[in-house]
């Protein structure tokens, strides 16, 4: 039996409509020390003591700034996320927000609500509508920051609506480049993207080089009365700078998914409570991906969509043994691992080694199970964070 500690309402997804059920051989546990794996959504587990057994953490969602990925890497815990699983949900909300907020829609709706008891409402509505004149988005310049799963979809959708779309992403992946409409103009700097933009929408992860990337300097380049949209993470914007720009009229509207002590006090601001990914479809997609990645890792050693280890997939094991080693990305690890195996009873049949930044992963199929003494030798190699024998099937 394998045990899974589930944080957040991802639990609902796992039981609802049979979506992403954990399946046979798995049980939920409340005890992290008993858990082989953790499933998490928004809970902040940066300070969690992972205990001795946790082998992986699977985040149902895109952002992973609630998980200590570097500490996990060094403890031999693989962290997964579910890229793309909720990107359509965010795209639909962002595009909707841009269109709705370009018009006097919300003020108009508020007017109707506050005049609900007016017996002359039909006549007065016609008289008052001139106060809610908006603008059309077609032909206007929009800058999309980050052209990943969400940003590329937002850029394409806005292009299809007739906006003049610019994208900035110095680390654009080949996969997302293929998905981008060729009319989306790529620029090399944030300044170029922001200059004379009517809209800027943010779709980057929270990390050192993106934190506060949208501040006074970039806002000053945008067109007067422009709209800023943040459905990425709260700290991508410099909040005091956005507040000041809204108060001076430089920014006409701020739309964001993050209620903070300051955003809730900003004028001309529309805030949703971090609900970009809150659709039944996105929640099911992410839960399904999170569970299947977790199970493939526990059962076969396959790593797919990890954020702290490289991808590695040898499929199911067809030989007598499989071992998996998570280790530092330093010279001579393969030499030491294969050297220890050479002195053992087992013969290597197939092997894959992948490295990414400071972490590396070696998956080895052997003709027969590796004996316990050799496993201990492998475990003792400096730089090996964790090693396990997957085949024959481990009980935990």
Ligand X SMILES: O=C(O)[C@H](O)COP(=O)(O)O
**Rg of the chain on CA atoms, in Å:** 25
Residue 360 bridge partners (DSSP): 327, 355
Site membership for ligand X, residue 42 (CB under 6 A): yes
Q: Is 172 in the site for ligand NAD (CB under 6 A)?
A: yes
Q: How far apart are CA 184 and CA 176, in angstroms?
A: 12
Q: Is 389 in the site for ligand NAD (CB under 6 A)?
A: no
Query: How many residues make contact with ligand NAD (CB under 6 A)?
Result: 33
Specify the residue, 152 or 353, whose C-beta has the smaller distance to ligand NAD. 152
As a whole number of angstroms, the distance between CA 133 and CA 125 comes to: 13
The values of phi and psi at residue 312, to 5°, are: -160, 125
Q: What phi, psi does 31 have (nearest 5°)?
A: -100, 110
Q: Which residues does 112 contact at the CB level (< 8 Å), separation at least 6? A: 121, 125
79 burial (CB, 10 Å; 0-12 / 13-18 / 19+) is buried
276 lies in the binding site for ligand NAD (CB under 6 A): yes
Beta bridge partners of 243: none
Site string for ligand NAD, 59-78 (x = CB under 6 A): ---xx---------------
Q: From the CB of 129, what's the least distance to ligand NAD, in Å? A: 32
Indicate whether 140 belongs to the interface with ligand X (CB under 6 A).
no
Tokens 């809970």 belong to which residue? 43
Q: Would you count residue 151 as binding ligand NAD (CB under 6 A)? A: yes
Q: Which does 203 bind (CB under 5 to 8 A by kind): ligand X, ligand NAD, none?
A: ligand NAD
The 212-251 contact track toward ligand NAD, x by CB under 6 A, reads -------------------xxx------------------
Considering the complex, what minimum distance in angstroms separates the CB of residue 308 from ligand X?
16
Residue 169 interacts with, from ligand X, ligand NAD, none (CB under 5-8 Å by kind):
ligand NAD
The two three-digit tokens of residue 257, written as one number: 């998914």
377 is a contact residue toward ligand X (CB under 6 A): no
Place of tokens 């992972």: 50
Six-digit token pair at 91?
A: 């795209």
Q: Residue 68 or 146: which CB sits closer to ligand NAD?
A: 146
Residues near ligand X, by CB under 6 A: 41-42, 61-63, 86, 274, 276-277
């Amino acid at each position: 039996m394998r045990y899974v500690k589930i944080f957040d309402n991802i639990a609902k997804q796992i039981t609802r409509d049979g979506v992403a059920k954990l399946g046979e051989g798995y049980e939920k546990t409340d005890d992290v020390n008993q858990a082989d794996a953790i499933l998490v959504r928004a809970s902040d587990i940066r300070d969690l003591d992972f205990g001795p057994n946790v082998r992986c953490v699977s985040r149902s969602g895109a952002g992973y700034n609630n998980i200590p990925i570097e500490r996990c890497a060094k403890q031999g815990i693989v962290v997964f996320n579910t890229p793309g699983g909720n990107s359509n949900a965010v795209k639909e909300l962002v595009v909707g927000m841009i269109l709705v907020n370009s018009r006097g829609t919300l003020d108009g709706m508020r007017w109707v609500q506050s005049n609900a008891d007016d017996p002359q409402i039909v006549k007065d509505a016609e008289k008052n509508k001139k106060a809610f004149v908006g603008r059309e988005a077609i032909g206007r310049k929009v800058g999309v920051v980050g052209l990943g799963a969400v940003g590329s979809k937002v850029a394409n959708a806005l292009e299809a609506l007739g906006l003049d779309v610019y994208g900035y992403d110095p680390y654009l992946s080949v996969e997302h480049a293929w998905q981008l409409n060729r009319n989306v103009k790529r620029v090399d700097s944030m300044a170029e993207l922001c200059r004379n933009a009517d809209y800027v929408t943010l779709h980057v992860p929270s990390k050192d080089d993106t934190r506060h990337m949208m501040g006074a300097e970039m806002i000053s380049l945008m067109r007067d009365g422009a709209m800023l949209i943040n459905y990425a993470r709260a700290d991508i914007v410099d909040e005091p700078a956005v507040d000041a720009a809204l108060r001076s009229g430089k920014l006409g509207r701020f739309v964001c998914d993050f209620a903070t002590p300051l955003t809730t006090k900003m004028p001309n601001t529309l805030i949703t409570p971090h609900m970009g990914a809150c659709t039944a479809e996105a929640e099911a997609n992410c839960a399904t991906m999170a569970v299947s990645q977790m199970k493939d890792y526990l059962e076969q050693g396959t790593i797919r969509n990890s954020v702290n280890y490289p991808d590695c997939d040898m499929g199911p094991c067809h030989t007598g043994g499989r071992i998996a080693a998570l280790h530092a990305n330093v010279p001579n690890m393969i030499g030491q691992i294969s050297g220890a195996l050479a002195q053992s009873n087992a013969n290597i049949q197939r092997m894959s080694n992948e490295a990414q930044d400071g972490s590396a992963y070696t998956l080895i199929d052997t003709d027969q199970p590796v004996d316990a003494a050799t496993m201990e030798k492998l475990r003792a190699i400096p730089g090996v964070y964790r090693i396990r024998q997957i085949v024959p099937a481990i009980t935990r």
